[in-house]
Amino acid sequence: MLSRRRFLTGLAGLAALPAFARAGQTQAIRLAAAWQADTGHHVGVLAPAGEGVLAIASALRVPTRAHGLLRESSGNLLAVARRPGDWLLRWSMDGRPLAWRWSEPGRAFAGHVLASADGRTLYTTEIDLESGLGLIGVRDGASLEKRAEWPSQGRDPHMLVHDATHPDALLIANGGVPTRPETGRRKHDLARMDSSLVRLDVRGGKALGQWRLDDPRLSLRHLAWQGARLGIALQAEHDDPAAQAAAPVLALFDGVNLAAVPAHMPLAGYAGDIAAWDTGYALGCPRAAGVALIAADGAWRGFLPLAEACAAQATHAGLWVAGRGRALMWEPAALAQRLVVAEARLDNHWIAI
């Protein structure tokens, strides 16, 4: 348990610790990220640079905000435009663009990409702009060209992962929030929300199962496996402010059953990112200004304050979370938090490379 006393002890110990103690571990960390700066939107690589600074090691300007990121087995990186988006990019860690792919007519990217185990196929969440229905784009891993597309069995598909409990299957989080092509991300008709978790067969896109939460106003967004249990970050869309404030931010799926975990403190009903960390999950909760730590069985483990906390990534050196102009690195064994200054406003996700 990350008790209040332990948390305060960690904060008090900051002044006595040199910047980036255990430098051999921390200095080796690099993070692929997306960010906004005065010069526009970028993707690139960040790295600790001593004196509490998380510096930009390489950068590449992109047309619009990026969202999901993926490191390929080759060492190259992929980024997808924020939904509804029109570009998919492969780039190198030194900031060189290697391949662009623009969305096909009548289609938009929905924020995330996943590679097959052999890297020969990429799966992208997409939207049919005419019908509003969700799609999974099946793309060539080398050229990024689309080979096929499968229905996601819902609207507003977002993140997808391989199913750790079922061979040859994907799990897709359909956010279920109705939108219109002419208004982009603007939400409407929330009473018609239909969020679901869907299992698809990778051998042809056949639906193998679909699960919904009891509360239809909880949108399933981001996914992280902790062993054989899937943690799902939730974003509530309640009309009642009290219900919104008290809404859960995590659901758990064991391969058969899907259930929300009741919130242990008001978190504004909004989790931006989720990382499997230690024996549970870390959820960036930007509207609650901190990181919720929840065990794999749903038990509450603590809360780490950080303004606009969102992007979360677990590494061998600890937990990294991006916030407003700052990042938090937490090492439980050292009882220390280190706030490192970023040179730009970091976006929703980052990944350790």
CB-based burial, 236-275: b 16+ in 10 Å, e otherwise: bbbeeeeebbbbbbbbbbeeeebebbebeeebbbbbbbbb
Q: What is the mean pLDDT of residues 205-230?
A: 97
The CA–CA distances, whole Å, from 110 to 127, 168, 192, 241, 347 equal 6, 23, 20, 28, 16
CA distance 226 to 255: 12
What pLDDT, in 10s, does the model give residues 203-216?
A: 999 999 999 999 99
Least confident of 13-17, 81-85, 185-189, 345-349: 13-17
pLDDT the model gives residue 9: 32
Contacts of 182 (CB under 8 A, 6+ apart): none
Better-scored residue on pLDDT, 332 or 200: 200
Q: Name the most confidently modeled range: 30-39, 165-174, 321-330, 338-347.
A: 165-174
Contacts of 93 (CB under 8 A, 6+ apart): 30, 32, 45, 58, 75, 76, 77, 353
Q: What is the mean pLDDT of residues 19-42?
A: 74
What pLDDT, in 10s, does the model give residues 109-129?
A: 999 999 999 999 999 999 999
pLDDT the model gives residue 26: 60
pLDDT the model gives residue 3: 39
Contact between residue 310 and residue 292 where contact means Cβ atoms under 8 Å apart: no
How many Cβ atoms sit within 10 Å of the Cβ of residue 1? Answer: 10
Q: What is the mean pLDDT of residues 260-276?
A: 97
pLDDT the model gives residue 179: 66
Least confident of 5-14, 251-260, 312-321: 5-14
What pLDDT, in 10s, does the model give residues 124-180?
A: 999 999 999 999 999 999 999 999 999 999 999 999 999 999 999 999 999 998 765
How many Cβ atoms sit within 10 Å of the Cβ of residue 192? Answer: 11
How many Cβ atoms sit within 10 Å of the Cβ of residue 181? Answer: 14
Q: Name the most confidently modeled range: 15-19, 147-151, 342-346.
A: 147-151
Q: What is the mean pLDDT of residues 298-324?
A: 92
Q: What's the chain's average pLDDT?
A: 88
Q: Is the pLDDT of residue 1 over 50?
A: no
Contact between residue 337 and residue 328 where contact means Cβ atoms under 8 Å apart: yes
How many Cβ atoms sit within 10 Å of the Cβ of residue 190? Answer: 15
Better-scored residue on pLDDT, 338 or 172: 172
- pLDDT over 70 percentage in the chain: 86
Terminal C-alpha separation, the chain = 29
User: 3-state DSSP call for residue 12?
Assistant: helix
Structural domains in the chain, CATH included, are: 4-352 (2.130.10.10)
Model's pTM, two decimal places? 0.90
